[in-house]
Each structure stands twice: as C-alpha cells, then as structure tokens.
Amino acid sequence: SGTDNTQGNGGTFVNSDVCGQRQTFKSLIGELEKMLKYNTNDRGVAEGKIVNGKPAAIAEFPWVAYLKIPATGGSYFMCGGSLIAKNWVLTAAHCLESLGNLDKFNVRVETIRNDIALIKLGKKANVEMPHINTICLSKEDFSIGTKCIVAGWGNTMTAGHKTSDILLRADIRIEENSKCPYSNGLADTQLCAGGYIKHNALSLADSCQGDSGGPLFCLRRDGVYYQAGIVSYGAKCGDPSAVGVYTAVPKYIDWINSVIGGNN
C-alpha cells in the first residue's frame, strides 16, 4: 500500500503507489462472468450506453463509485464518484444539494462553477481487493486533444430516461472551452470534453444524466490513469454541437489536500 493524502513532487496528490492502474485480473473476471452470466458481446452493442458507449470489463476501472443520494419523500437519485483515497470519494457538489448545508466550495448555481465535493466514507475501502483501487490526481493540466475515458451508470439515451445496470464507458476527448456553446462562459476551473467517435450522423459517445459526479480520466506517459474532470453538466447528451462541461480536477488539488490532510 502507498502513502495516503500527501502532497508530492510537482504538486501531485499522492494517494497510492498503485493508483490509476486499470485492472485485468483475467482469472477473477472469468469466474465473475460465469457467476453473472455476463457477456460483453451481448450487452450493449445496439441500445446506446453511457450514451453510445460500451460496457466496461469487470473491475476494469476500480476507482469508479456509484452514489445513491437520498432525496425528498424517501426517494433517491444516482450520481457517480471516484475513490481518491481509502476513505474519500470525489464527486460533483450538485449531487449533494439535497443533503442540506455542506462544508464545501460555494457553488454558483447560475454557472455551476466549483461543482466539486468530497465525501468521507464511514469505513475505509479495502484497496487490497483486486476490484478496488484509487485514481491518481495531479496539478498538471491536460492538453487540448487528450483522449480520455468517462464511465458511469447514467442515462443511456439521448432522449428519454433509461439508466444502465452495468458500468459503461465512453471515449472522450478534451476540447477547447470555446466548443462549449454556453452563453455564461466557462471558468478556468472548468473544461470541455466530448466524444470523437461517431455513433451515427447525429450522435457521439457522451456522459449523460446520472453520470454526474463521475470521473473523466486520462492515461499519461507513466502508464497510469489520472483524473482530469468531474462530470458537471451539458446541454444535450451526445450532441456534437454541444460537448459536456467538467470540473477541472487539477485546479482543485490544493483544496483537496487541505480538506483531506489530517482528516482521516
């Protein structure tokens, strides 16, 4: 195991010696597929995924978290998150608004800026388990054109509402902020990202409702994944003319360290 919650060289958030490593565990996956009768070829080739994504392999992205958020009337809604330390999950602030007054950044609702929140787990996640791991964080920004992945259980349709019962992934590329056609503009703490693989003439792979709070993560030269963004909002899922807006995680490393440091 690595050292949790310290500030490393170059402003890197060091949460584990093995953070951001995608798992393969072929023997484990084989056994789980037998138990679940899971067949990636039969699940989601035609119906649209995250939107127009594809199923992630079992334990492929072991830092992606599913959040079930209590709402009024005994109902709940779902969001995504990412395990960044054994007892901390990173998500979007707007996912937690129903919980009342939160000790977090002041969220500007009209622009949904500073859409970031930390959840402290009541029990530490067992990262020694092969299907649980943390995602790496760093202050280093990601360049325009970087190809990344977004994963979640959110809406799988560009119109209507149909969530997924399995983790789905979509290939996403970081774009110029000008690609996000929102009149209120974007802050430097936000980034634009959208699909680059066409599903059809009118739709690309994209995150959607229910994926909020989930991680946008990218493979770096060191061979591990780092989180670039948090799913925040968008105009229309899968619309090539309006790519999604994400909270830029590298801009918040100091804040993350200030919250987590000494608070384990």
Q: Is 254 a catalytic residue?
A: no
Among the listed residues 115, 206, 211, 239, the single catalytic one is 115
Q: Is 131 a catalytic residue?
A: no
What is the torsional sign of CA 89, 93, 96, 100? positive
- Whole-angstrom Cα distance, residue 66 to residue 82? 9
Among the listed residues 4, 94, 211, 239, the single catalytic one is 94
Contact of 195 with 253, CB cutoff 8 Å: no
- Whole-angstrom Cα distance, residue 83 to residue 90? 6
- Whole-angstrom Cα distance, residue 191 to residue 231? 10
- Whole-angstrom Cα distance, residue 215 to residue 225? 11
| Tokens describing residue 153 | 């259980």
Residues across the chain: 264
CA distances from 1 to 222, 224, 239 (A): 19, 16, 42
Among the listed residues 16, 82, 138, 212, the single catalytic one is 212
Q: Is 115 a catalytic residue?
A: yes
Neighbours of 25 (CB within 10 A): 16
- Whole-angstrom Cα distance, residue 229 to residue 207? 12
Residue type at 20 in one-letter notation: G
- Whole-angstrom Cα distance, residue 83 to residue 134? 5
Q: Which residues are catalytic?
A: 94, 115, 212
